[in-house]
Amino acid sequence: MTLQAVLDDLSKRPGSGEVIPIINPATEETITEFTDCGPEAVDEAAARAKASFESGAWSQLPGRERAKVLRRIGQLIDEHAEEFAQLDSLNTGMPLMQAQLQMSTVSEFFRYYAGWCTKLNGVAYDVKTDGIASDAYVDMHAYTLKEPYDVVGLIFPWNGPIFNASAKLAPALAAGSSLLVKPAEETPLSAVLLDRLIHEAGVPEGVVNLLTGYGHTAGAAITAHPDVEKAAFTGSTEVGKEIVRASADNLKKVTLELGGKSPVLIFDDADMDKALLMAPLGIFVHSGQGCVCGSRIFAQRGVYDQVVAGISTMANTFKLGAPSEEGCVSGPLISHKQLTRVMGFIDEGKSDGVEVVTGGYRLGRKGYFVHPTVLTNVDTKMRLYQQEIFGPVVTILPFDDEDEGVALANDTTYGLAATAWTQNVGRAHRMLKRLHAGSVQVNCQLVFDHDVPFGGHKQSGWGHEFGKEGIDIYLKTKSAWIQL
Ligand code: NAD
C-alpha cells in the first residue's frame, strides 16, 4: 500500500468533527488532513463490534484458527515492514533505521500471542463444600473459565505508533474480543495500513474498528461508552486519570500504561564505559519521547563529575536530523505543542537557577528539534524535576551512599522503570528490591522481550502488558460449579 493509498484511505473515512492536520515534525509541513470521526462514528463502531462479538465469528472461533489469522497478520506485517517504517518515520520524525529496526518486534507480537490462543484455560478444583441441610460434605467439581471481554477500546499515543498499536491489538485479538481502535490524532498513518492488513489476513468484519480522531472527542466517547466493557490505554498519567473517571458509569475495566520519570543510579563501582554509553541513550534516543526514558540520573559523589562530563559529551555528539538525513540518531519532537511544553520546562528551570551544562535550546532550523539537554544544580521541588517532560532533558544529581540514592530515586509519584549501574552483586540484588518501579534493570537499559510483563507501579499504570499477563488483562474469570 503506497503512502498515497494510506492518505486516501484516511481522508475517505467518515467524520463529523473538526479537520485535523497531520504535520511532518521534521519539516513542519502538512502531510495531509482528515476529519475527526466524531462520537457518532464511535456509537456505530461499538454497535458493529458488539454484533460481531455476539455472532461468534471471531470470539467463538477455535483458538487454533484465531492463531492462524494472527500468524498471517505477522507475516503480512513482515511483507510490508518497509512501508510501516516509512509511515512511522514520516509521521513521528524518528530516524528511518530506528523505525525499520522495530518492525521485527512488531510482527512478533502477533506470532507471540498466536501461541497463547490455544492456551486460554482456567483451572480445575476438587472441592468438598459444607452441606447446607446436613453435616455431610458435598462433592463439587469447580473450575474457572477464561472469557474475553466483548467490546474493548484500545487507545494509544504517538511516540511509537505501530509498536503501541500491535502491543495492544495482538493480545486483544488473541483473547477473542471485538475492538475499537484509536491511534493518536498526530500519528494515524501506520494504523490505517495495519487495519487494512488485519482484514486481509481474515479477521471478520466488525471485529476491528479503526476510529481516527482527537482524544477529547473519539477517545472520550470510547471510554465513556456503555457498550465498551474494557478500555486499555497507553498515554499520559493525566489522561489516564480522565479515563478512569469516564469509565465509572459502567464500571468499565481499565488497564493503563502511563508516564514515567525514571531514575538511573550510577554507583562509583559501575562499569563506567557501559553506564556512560547507555544512560545518555536511555534519555536522548527518540528525543526523550519514550515512556521508560531515564530522565533523572543520580551519580555517586566519587563519579559525579565524570558522569556529568560523559553524558554531556554524548549529548553533544548526538546527531539530530530528519529521518532521511544520514547518520542521525534522533529526530524532532512530535509537534509544536510538545516543543512549547519542553522549552517551557527548560526556560522555567533557567530562570529558577538551574545550570544548563549543555543544550537547552531549539535548533535553528525547520522542525521541532531540541538539542539534548543536561541540567544540574536542580532542586527536587522544581516542576521540571517532578513532572514527566517527554523530551531530551535529563537532570543529574549527586548522592553519597546507597540509602540516599534509593531515597532520591523513589521520591516520585511515578513508578514505571528504574535502573542501577553497579558491579557489586549484593547491591545489584538490593536495587531490584528497593527501587519502586514496575521494571527495574541492573546494568542495562531499554530492554524488552515479548515474554516479560511490563507495567507501571504508583501513578505509572494499572496492569501489565506483554507475556501471559498481557493477555490475562483481556480475559475475565468465570467460576463454574457442578454438584456431583
Ligand atoms: P496522551 O495521554 O495525551 O494521549 C494518548 C492517547 O489518548 C491519544 O490517542 C489521545 O488522542 C488519547 N486521549 C487524549 N485525551 C483523551 C481522553 N480524554 N479520553 C480518551 N482518550 C484520550 O499522551 P501522548 O502525549 O499522546 O503520549 C505521551 C504519553 O504516553 C507519555 O506520558 C508517555 O510516558 C506515555 N506512554 C506510556 C507508555 C507505557 O507503556 N507506559 C508507552 C508509551 C507512551
Residue nearest to atom 35 of ligand 1 (CA): 235
Residue nearest to atom 11 of ligand 1 (CA): 215
64-69: long-range contacts, CB 8 A cutoff, minimum separation 24: 64/117, 64/118, 66/114, 66/117, 66/173, 66/174, 66/176, 67/114, 67/115, 67/117, 67/118, 67/174, 68/114, 68/202, 69/173, 69/201, 69/202, 69/203
Give the separation between CA 135 and CA 150, rounded to whole angstroms. Answer: 42
pLDDT reported for residue 135: 79
Using a 10 angstrom Cβ sphere, with 0-12 exposed, 13-18 middle and 19 or more buried, the burial of residue 470 is buried
Atom number in ligand 1 closest to CA 236: 32
Convert the pLDDT of each residue in 80-94 to its tens digit.
999 999 999 999 999
Give the separation between CA 252 and CA 243, rounded to whole angstroms. Answer: 10
Task: State phi, psi for 208 to the nearest 5 degrees.
Answer: -115, 120
Residue 411, all three cell numbers: 521520591
Beta-strand relationship, 253-257 and 230-234: parallel
Catalytic status, residue 257: yes
Predicted structure pTM score:
0.97
E strands in 388-455: 393-399, 414-415, 417-421, 439-442
CA of 256 to the centre of ligand 1 (A): 10
Give the H or E element holding residue 478: strand 475-483
In short, whether 243's Cβ falls inside 6 Å of ligand 1 is yes
pLDDT reported for residue 480: 97
In short, whether 36's Cβ falls inside 6 Å of ligand 1 is no
CA of 237 to the centre of ligand 1 (A): 8
Residue nearest to atom 16 of ligand 1 (CA): 215
Q: Of 20, 228, 239, 245, which is best to mutate to test ligand 1, by the most ligand atoms within 8 angstroms of its C-beta? A: 239
CA of 217 to the centre of ligand 1 (A): 14
Residue 254's DSSP bridge partners are: 231
Q: Of 182, 223, 236, 452, which is best to mutate to test ligand 1, by the most ligand atoms within 8 angstroms of its C-beta? A: 236
**Contact 458/414 with Cβ under 8 angstroms?**
yes
Atom number in ligand 1 closest to CA 213: 11
CATH of domain 263-442: 3.40.309.10
Convert the pLDDT of each residue in 375-386 to its tens digit.
999 999 999 999
pLDDT reported for residue 16: 87
Beta-strand relationship, 373-376 and 461-462: unpaired
Using 70 as the pLDDT threshold, list the residues of the chain that sit under it: none
Domain boundaries in the chain?
Answer: 3-258+460-483, 263-442
User: What is the number of residues in the chain?
Assistant: 484
Residue nearest to atom 32 of ligand 1 (CA): 236
**Contact 398/299 with Cβ under 8 angstroms?**
yes
| Residue 479 Cα distances to 176, 279, 474, 482, angstroms | 19, 47, 17, 10
CATH of domain 3-258+460-483: 3.40.605.10
